[in-house]
Amino acid sequence: MAKAQFNREEVIDKAILLFWQHGYSASSMQQVVQATGLKPGSIYLAFGNKEGLFREALERYAQTSITRTRQVLENAPNVLKGICQIFEDNIAQSTQDNYCSCFLLKTRLELAAEGNELHKLASEKLALMEALFRSSLETEFNPELSQRRATSIMLHIFGIRVYGYQQDSEDRMRQGLQEGLPWLPWT
């Protein structure tokens, strides 16, 4: 069997950008070949098919997001200030010109009617993010309140990810977050 002659992580990163911008269904195999620089045979050999590459792209994106979130929470003076920082980071990202929303959220929305394994995977990764917020909040609150607040955080993050397409919306988003999450120490 032939050995892959490419950097797998670089290929997955290129695939993330393609799928993130166009979605799973709208990304043709020809676009995948062009974006990754691989020949179709190499893609099939390394990833099985487009779905296999998409699955690995979702996994990598999710792991990067979870790791980044964990680092912010761990490096903050306290968990509540860390959550505020995460919201500020999300606002900043969502107002950039090249903003593409959240790859996991976009996947859930695109594949919701199908309810296939890719939809399930994106849902599982978002649940892991919510669990990270819940466990972090449990350092300050009881488990039940921590779960409710983690769910609220996720709902607000989803809102930012969708609402952020509008220009000049930073202050409105920040005010909306402060109104919806008054228990956080906003500055």
- Residue-wise pLDDT for 34-92, tens only, equals 999 999 999 999 999 999 999 999 999 999 999 999 999 999 999 999 999 999 999 99
pLDDT at residue 1 above 50? no
User: What residue segments make up the domains of the chain, in order of their start?
Assistant: 57-180
Helices (H), the chain: 8-22, 29-36, 40-47, 50-75, 79-94, 103-111, 117-137, 143-163, 170-180
pLDDT reported for residue 132: 98
What average pLDDT does the segment 14-19 reach? 95
